[in-house]
Structure 1
Amino acid sequence: APAPSVPPIAQLLLDAFTAYGNPADLTIAQLADHLVAADPGTWGLWEGKHNRQIMIGRTLKKHLKEAGLTIPTARLEAAVDPKRPTIYRLTDIHSALS
């Protein structure tokens, strides 16, 4: 069971990082796949839609804010991905929870 100090949304993020082998960061697209699988009722509303990542990203921010967590997003370096997708960093999640 998750520690009581970890809000469910943060636990979902940590679970996503665990599923990917705890990389330094994950893109919204990677997180979206995990969130939809974990809770299709909340996160699966935009499946097959062009704005899926935008809406999941917004909803994620909203859930984090409601949980009282401030977790900054960043952009992947252009050298890694020229589209520079939005990412969440594992260290930022741990910092927000500590």
Structure 2
Amino acid sequence: MAVTGGLIYRGIWKSSKRFGPFPKLAVAGILGFAVGKASYVGTCRNKFQQLGLEGGPGSGPWSRRGPSGRGHRSCHHVFEDCKKKDQVAPAGEA
């Protein structure tokens, strides 16, 4: 927003006759916010993985992946393949 304000102040970009510099400053602020959030996604994912939360937000019991995070939906039975995978997995891993 500061760069946009500077460009408008120096006359490189012209402000709107009706609304002044505010629409361009608002768009610059929204775009800056979106780019900042998008650039932080990888860091946030890594922090959740370090905490042991495999999927981070949205991977809880009400997500599509289910509470175990292994693709089970809300079924109450366990297939033989899943039992084998659970036996092979280390004891500390959920």
Q: Give the structure-2-normalised TM-score.
A: 0.25
> Which structure has more RCO (C-alpha within 8 Å, separation ≥ 6)?
1
Structure with greater strand percent: 1
Higher alpha-carbon Rg: 2
Q: Give the structure-1-normalised TM-score.
A: 0.24
